Each structure stands twice: as C-alpha cells, then as structure tokens.
Amino acid sequence: MEDFEKLGAFYLGRVQDLAAGKRTDELVLYDSKDLTTHAVIIGMTGSGKTGLGIGIIEEAAMDRIPVIAIDPKGDLGDLLLTFPNLSPGDFEPWVSSQEAEAKGMTRHQFADEQASTWEKGLADWGQSGERIKRLREAADFAIYTPGSAAGAPISVLRAFTAPPEAIRNDADLFRERLQTTASSVLALLGIDGDPITSREHILVSNLLQRAWVSGKDLDLPGLIGQIQNPPFEKIGVMEVDQVFPAKERTALAMQINNLLAAPGFEAWMSGVPLDSSKLLYTDSGKPRVSVISIAHLGDAERMFFVSMLLNDLIGWMRQQPGTGSLRAVLYMDEIFGYLPPVANPPTKALFLTLLKQARAYGLGVVLATQNPVDLDYKALSNAGTWCIGRLQTERDKARVMEGLEGASAGGNFDRGAMEQLIAGLGKRVFLLHSVHESKPTIFQTRWTMSYLAGPLTREQIRRLSPAESVAPTAASRSNASTAAPPVTDGGASGPPSVPAGIPQFHLPADGDATWQPRLLGVADVTISSARYGINRTDRVLHTVAFGDGPVPVDWSTADPLEADLAAIGKGPPAEGTFAPVPSAALKEKSYSAWTRSYTQWLKSNEVITLYRSVALKLISRAGETEKDFRIRLQNNSREQRDASVESIRQKFATKRAALVDRLQRAEQRVERESQEAGSEKLHAAVSFGTAVIGALFSRKAVSATNVSRMGTAARSVGRVQKQSGDVTRASESAESVRQALAELDQQIEGQTGALRGGFDAQNEPLETITIKPKASDVQVHEVGLVWMA
C-alpha cells in the first residue's frame, strides 16, 4: 500500500471510481499550506461531513498544527476518543447501550464488536494503533464548555479585555471589535442592537470605547455602573439624557444585573480565561486541539460566545508575523446562522474578516454545514477548497453551484459537468474542488482514528475533563500575587507615627480599608548586550512583607507590583484601620541597608534569559518565553520544510510536466491505434465474409470478381496484423513513459523524504543564555513603607 505520510500533506482518503462504484488505490493527499486559503465542507445529514472534518483535524494535529474546533452539535468531542491499543475495554465506556440492545448484545459484547470494526477499518486504510499513538503524542487534546462546568469552563464575562495595541491602532478592526462586543452583550439580553439606530448599542459601544482607548478593561459590574452614570456628558452632540434618559438607562442596567444574578450564570464567570494563545498551545508550547462544545447553550448564548471567541482569535492573529505556511486552524462544524446571506449577526463581520485576512497570517478557516441555502456565498467565494458531499434538494445544489462558480479562478467553471459529478456522490464520498488543482477529484474519506461515538453527554464530557485541567483565571492569579498579608492584632484607627525621614506610600483602595505595612522598592533596570542586540530599560516595582526573624526583609520573597508609580499615593492613607509597623521598619537607617540589598537582588534576579536552538541556529528575543520561542521554532521549521518541498517540486516541475504531456500523447495514440485496429478488424471480417459467400453462391466456381474479393480480404488480414503491431508498440511506448514518470516521482519523493527527519520543537534541548545588568545599570528610585489594603 502506498505511503501516505508525506511532508506537509493531509491524508484525506482515496480516489473513488464513480462508474465502478468503488474506491481505487490512488491516494488523495492535500497540501496543508493550501488550507490557508480556507475550506468549506457541505453535505446533507449522513453524508459523512463530520467524519471528514474530524479527519482534517487529525491530520493537522499529526503535523503539529493547533486547532480551535467550535462544536455546535456535540460531535467533535469524539476527537478525544483515541485508543492506540484498540482494546474493547477502551471502547466500552463510550459505546451506546441503546445500540447494543438493538443488536441483542451486552454492552461488553458491543464494545468488542466496535473495537474489531475500528481495527479492521483502520487497517483497510493503511492505519493502525501506532498511528493513533503518534496522533496523541503530537498534540494536546482538550474539551471546553463555556457556561458549563461539564468540561473546562471558559471565563468570558469576567472582563471585556481591552484589545491589543495592534487592533487599537487599526481604526477598522477597532470599530469592528467595539460593534461586535456590544452586539454580543445585547444579544444575551434579547436586544437586536443595530450599531446605527439602537441607543443601547450606541451607549454600550461608547462606554467600551472610552475604556479601551486608554488600554483599560471593563467588566460587567463596571459596565452596569457606567450605564447608570456615564463618564461623559454627551453622545455625539446631544446630552446623554436626551439620547437615553436616566430612567431607561437604569432599566437596561437592571437587565444586565438580572443576567448576572440568574442561577447558573456564575459558570460564565469562572474557568480558564478566554485566550486564543492558550486554546492553541499548552504552557510548554505544545500544539493543542481545543474542542469548544456549545451544544448545551441557547441560541443567544452561542452567538455571544462565538462572537467573543472570534474577536479574541482575530486579536491573536493580528499579533502574528506573516507566513505562507499553515500556522493554525479554526474549524466550525455547523456554520448555519452565523454567516447568513441577508441578516447581520455579530459573527458575520468577524467571519468575513477571517476569510479575507487570515491567509496572510497562516490561519486556515474550515466551515462545515448541511444547510447551504443559509450561507453567504459571496463571502465563501474567498474559500479556495470546497468538499461537497450528498445534497438533499435541488435548491441546495443550485446554491452550491453558485458558490463554486464564484470560487473558481479564471472563469473555467463547467457547471454541467460539476452537476453531473455531484449527482453521483454517495455516503462518505466527496467532490474536492480546489483552486490549487487543475481539476476536481472524487474521493472516499479515510477511516478516522477517533472513535465516532456520536454526541457526548455532559457526564461523558466530565470524564474527559479532569478537574486539574482547569487552570485559575488571570484575575484570580493576579489577586493572589498582590494580596495583602493577614491582618495583625492590635489594629489602630488613623496612621501610626512614622519618622519623617521614612518615605511612605499607599495603594488606592475603596471604602473603609484595613491597611498592612510592606516594603516598596522602585527601580529602573537597564540591560544591554551588543552581541545579542539588546538595549532595554524597564521600570520595576516590588513589595515585600516584613519578617519577624533576624533578617526582617528578604527580597527573594518579593512580589512584583503591577501598578503605575503615578497611581501610588504619597504619604500614609488618611483613614482606615492600620496594622502595627514592625520596629525595624521604623528605623531610617534600615532603608539605606534595604536599598543596597535591593540593588544587589535586582542585579542577580532582573535578568534576561535567552534560548538558543542549535538545530535551527536561532536565538529567542528579549522577553520571549520558552513557550513562545518553541512555537516560533515549530512555525519556522514548518516554513523551511514547505519551502524546501516546493523547491524540490519546482526543480523537477519542467521534466515532470514534459513526461505527463508525453504520457497523455502516448495514451491518446494507444486509443487511436486501438480504434483503427478495431475498424480494420471489422473491415477484414466483412471483406473475408463477402469473398467466401461470393465463392459459395456464384454460378461460376471461380470468377474474376471472387478472385478480387479474396485478394482484398487477404490484404485486410495483413493490415489487421500491422495495426495490431501498431497498438502493441503504442502501448509499450506509453508504458515506457509511465515507468519513467513513476521513477521521477520516486526520485522526488526520495528527496522530500530526506527532509522527513523533521524538527521537534517540543523535545529539542535548548541552550540558555543569561544576560545580567551591571551594578551601574540598576537605578533605585524609591525604597519606602507602603500601605496596602
């Protein structure tokens, strides 16, 4: 069986012979970089559409390409059901009891049958448990359930994070982010917020804009407060109360508050933060397949979440460098309702942005549906690959033809031939139409490595999502790192007496605060290295608790303080309850000693660590984490691989094209000679028969006419023999060219196969380079007593 593990190629299936009604041995391999021009999968229920989608995701994972898979129907959780051992015990927890009963089997018996079916199915397609093992090793698989704790929950509503600077500086993208976020929030309330006519939309988007322009986040409680008391007096040229009276603003704020207070809504407030980088990669930089299950949500909640996810993904995308290789995949298993031809839900503009711009960043978008009539085909004309399965109605076929015609390059679309091909498709048989290929291909999808158990229940999802997979949210981590030490006994109202020579500060706090004393350090640290092209100065702030031992301050236990020095108040707080100040902190000379120890600690700890890849001869950038460096190495390696494969193909392109042309002409000659030989045989048979009949029935035993007929028949036999020889020679010539083409393809595969050793960014040992500041490059500005609530 032919090897399908090619560099940068997705194994989709094998060519289907429609006339014979069976698949051939010819592989269908899809270049991964072609997916950067996006793909559409269309087919009615039962066509095998989801199986094809899962197969594409598996192939991406095998190539270490991360995937975000949005799952509105609940089928994509099957991607986590991969069993390298193919043992019945692995299948048993996931088989259907109803199906087992329908077959008159116990659950164990049915699991045994399914294990055998999967093992045989994989073998028929040249696969095995070993390939499943490689799949599991290549990527991390996780299932997320926003608004539910069944899988790993995703915190979307904790804060509407300000978009990255790249988006804030792009007027069109920033406006799009504002509009879709406002529309999504209002959609949860059942408000159809038009950006132009809806006062609710105008108010919310203005509030978001005011916060985001200054780089600040705005959470829902903050949004509720600002709806009631906007931080501006006018909207446009009119007073806020004229555009949106206070009483009606309060009603809108109450709606959002009721949403927050609704039972079960806390699930939206907890879990891992919505962060595309974390959905695409683990903390170590390993590619991840993130299945986002939204089958349990209502329509408004689904629209809200998908909008927020796409917003975040576009923000991530815009921060990536350009590439011609496939960097990541966004897959959606049912696009119905999210990209309609007429209406404008919040997701439509976002999908349009991705379809038009994601190619430059190496993000491939794959959209699947069984409802082609409800798709905006003008938008999907941006898709370079179409996989079309069985269609249900003539209307569906007409809309697909419309989309295919729009997506076809050069205007060489043969509608009649395409309709005829689509009419003959069966289950798991698809038409592959790609702008990167000269003609369409009919193929049968390969057997998936994932066990297709059907939609998973919430209990099954829980089994696939261990509690430890749910990481703390960004907000909780931030709160933990800056939390005040426990309140000590003997608190006093009013600031305690501190010598005038000791600088004092306080952090902002709300209400009647209880204040704890800590030591604050503020410094500028400059790190420079001409060799590595580094010259940067960072302002650093740290706080450290006072200890009771002989060393009252240990800077190694310091916490970084994420605050602007300008926002820190000078002097002690005016009021509140104050914990006692340790005696060491009341001595002015202590602060001089702590300043010196702070300088030494910064010199040793405020360093820049660089990572070096010996294999790719690359060094990380200043501030680049090991995770991000490994991701960049993998992308760089993939780009080099794709470029090398393309270079090899180009090197042999002219010679191969000439052989293909010779083969086509040779096969045409065989066909022509065969037709002529057939005609000559018929002519000889007729001539010989006429001569024989004439001799038998002529009144003269031998006449001149009969002699002539017999001669003609003899000459015809001679021509038949000559023509047969021509056919043989033409066939031998075609076979010779075919053999030369096969040898050339083997030569090409040999050279590309030499690249297959591949580069494993996950496991390559990296060298570390540490760059420390000089003592003269550490400038301490403040070391003083800070009060923290």
Q: What is the pLDDT of residues 81-135, one digit of tens each?
A: 999 999 999 999 999 999 999 999 999 999 999 999 999 999 999 999 999 999 9
Measured CA distances, 601 to 273, 357, 593, 597, 770 (Å): 33, 47, 12, 6, 15
- Please state the φ and ψ torsions of residue 632, each to the nearest 5 degrees: -65, -40
pLDDT at res. 484: 34
Complete domains list, the chain, with CATH: 11-91+130-153+275-466 (3.40.50.300), 159-269 (no CATH), 483-607+772-788 (no CATH), 629-753 (no CATH)
- Give strand ranges (E) for 742-789: 767-771, 778-788
Give the range among 240-254, 436-450, 759-773 with minimum mean pLDDT.
Answer: 759-773
Q: Which residue has the tokens 């069109």?
A: 172
- pLDDT confidence band for 347 (50 / 70 / 90): very high
Residue 220, classed as helix, strand or coil, is: helix
Mean pLDDT of the chain: 86
pTM: 0.80
Q: Which residue from 310, 372, 36, 6 is spatially nearest to 183, judged by alpha carbons?
A: 310
Please tell me the distance from the alpha carbon of residue 106 to that of residue 97, in angstroms, as a whole number.
Answer: 8
Which amino acid is residue 488, in one-letter code? T
Tens of pLDDT along 325-334? 999 999 999 9
Q: How far is CA 1 from the centre of its chain?
A: 32
pLDDT for the residue 220: 85
Q: Which among 323, 309, 320 is positioned nearest to 628, based on CA atoms? A: 320
Average pLDDT of span 690-717 = 51
Q: Quick: pLDDT tens for 35-86.
A: 999 999 999 999 999 999 999 999 999 999 999 999 999 999 999 999 999 9
User: Is the model's pLDDT at 690 over the cut of 60?
Assistant: no
Pairwise pLDDT comparison (406 vs 789), residue with the higher score: 789
The pLDDT of 248-252, averaged and rounded, is 95
Comparing 317-331, 480-494, 621-635, the range with the smallest average pLDDT is 480-494
Give the pLDDT of residue 249: 95
CA-angle at 14, arms to 10 and 20, nearest 5°: 165
Tokens in use for 6? 């090619």
Q: Residue 626: name the closest of 395, 286, 381 by CA.
A: 286
Instruction: Name the CA radius of gyration of the chain, rounded.
Output: 36
Q: Please state the separation of Cα 586 from the chain's center in Å.
A: 56
User: What does the pLDDT read at residue 659?
Assistant: 82
